[in-house]
Amino acid sequence: MQITFQGAAGVVTGSMHILESAGKRILLDCGMFQGRRKEAEQRNRDFPFPASSIDAVVLSHAHIDHSGRLPLLVKQGFRGPIYATPATVELCAAMLRDTGHILQSDAEFVNRKHPKDAPVQPLYTVEDAAETMAYFRPVAYRTPTAIEGGLTMTSYDAGHILGSSSIVLTDGTTRLAFSGDVGRRGLPIIRDPEDLPPVDFLIMESTYGGRTHPAPPEALGQLEAVVKRTAARGGRVIVPAFAVGRTQQLVLMLHQLMNENRLPAIPIFVDSPLAIDVTAVFRNHPECFDDEINKYLQGGQDPFGFKRLTYVREAAASKQLNDRKDPFVIISASGMCEAGRILHHLRNGIGDAKNTVLLTGYQAENTLGRKLADGMKSVRIFGIPETVECEIQMLDALSGHADGEELLAWMQPMLPSLKRVFLVHGEPEQAAAMAKAIDEKFHIPAAPVAPGQSFRL
Higher pLDDT, 287 or 13: 13
Nearest to 329 by CA among 302, 291, 294, 355: 355
The residues pairing with 391 across neighbouring beta strands, listed in sequence order, are 356
Cα torsion at 330, 332, 338, 341 (round to 10°)?
-90
**Count of Cβ atoms closer than 10 Å to residue 140 Cβ:** 10
Give the pLDDT band of residue 421 (cuts 50, 70, 90).
very high
Give the type of residue at 362. Y
Nearest to 92 by CA among 163, 172, 5: 163
Q: Averaged over 71-96, what is the pLDDT?
A: 97
Radius of gyration (C-alpha) of the chain in whole angstroms? 22
pLDDT at 101 over 80: yes
DSSP 109-140: HHHHH-TTSPPPPPS--HHHHHHHGGGEEE--
Q: What is the pLDDT of residues 371-399, one digit of tens each?
A: 999 999 999 998 889 999 999 999 877 88
| pLDDT for res 286 | 86
Rounded to 5°, the CA angle 156-160-161 comes to 100
| pLDDT for res 36 | 76
| pLDDT for res 34 | 84
Q: Averaged over 419-443, what is the pLDDT?
A: 97
pLDDT at 435 over 80: yes
Give the pLDDT band of residue 242 (cuts 50, 70, 90).
confident
Least confident of 105-114, 150-159, 224-233, 341-350: 105-114
pLDDT at 27 over 90: yes
Give the pLDDT band of residue 157 (cuts 50, 70, 90).
very high
3-class secondary-structure state, position 345: helix
List the CATH code of the domain at 218-398.
3.40.50.10890
- Residues 123, 50, 206, 428, CA torsion sign: negative
| pLDDT for res 196 | 98
Distances in Å between the alpha carbon of 349 and those of 310, 344, 346, 368, 369? 20, 9, 5, 14, 14
Please state the domain extents for the chain.
2-211+400-456, 218-398
- With contact defined as beta carbons under 8 Å apart, do 411 and 204 qualify? yes
**Residues contacting 238, CB < 8 A, separation 6+:** 330, 332, 342, 345, 346, 349, 350, 355, 356, 357, 358, 390
| pLDDT for res 333 | 87
Tell me how far apart the alpha carbons of residues 243 and 276 are, in angstroms, rounded to a whole number: 8
| pLDDT for res 6 | 96
Least confident of 6-10, 52-56, 68-72, 303-307: 303-307
- With contact defined as beta carbons under 8 Å apart, do 96 and 71 qualify? yes
pLDDT at 304 over 90: no
Rounded to 5°, the CA angle 264-270-273 comes to 170
Q: How far is CA 413 from the centre of its chain?
A: 25
- With contact defined as beta carbons under 8 Å apart, do 79 and 135 qualify? yes
| pLDDT for res 74 | 98
Q: Averaged over 450-454, what is the pLDDT?
A: 96
Q: How far is CA 341 from the centre of its chain?
A: 18
> Whole-number mean pLDDT of the chain?
93
| pLDDT for res 229 | 97
| pLDDT for res 68 | 96
pLDDT at 362 over 90: no
3-class secondary-structure state, position 84: strand
| pLDDT for res 114 | 84
| pLDDT for res 298 | 81
Nearest to 61 by CA among 217, 249, 240, 205: 205
The residues pairing with 151 across neighbouring beta strands, listed in sequence order, are 147
Residue range 2-211+400-456 forms a domain whose CATH class is alpha beta
Least confident of 62-76, 363-377, 411-425, 426-440: 363-377
Q: What is the pLDDT of residues 204-221, one digit of tens each?
A: 999 999 999 888 778 899
Q: Averaged over 445-455, what is the pLDDT?
A: 97
pLDDT at 439 over 90: yes
Q: Are strands 82-84 and 56-58 parallel, antiparallel or unpaired?
A: parallel
Q: How far is CA 196 from the centre of its chain?
A: 22
| pLDDT for res 400 | 85
Tell me how far apart the alpha carbons of residues 387 and 272 are, in angstroms, rounded to a whole number: 25
- With contact defined as beta carbons under 8 Å apart, do 13 and 366 qualify? no
Give every strand in the sheet of 454-456, ordered side by side.
Answer: 136-138, 82-84, 56-58, 24-28, 16-21, 2-7, 454-456
Q: H or E element: which one contains 208? A: none
| pLDDT for res 106 | 81
Q: Are strands 328-332 and 236-240 parallel, antiparallel or unpaired?
A: parallel
Tell me how far apart the alpha carbons of residues 345 and 270 are, in angstroms, rounded to a whole number: 12
Tell me how far apart the alpha carbons of residues 329 and 309 are, in angstroms, rounded to a whole number: 9
- With contact defined as beta carbons under 8 Å apart, do 452 and 1 qualify? no
Q: Averaged over 271-292, what is the pLDDT?
A: 89
| pLDDT for res 115 | 87
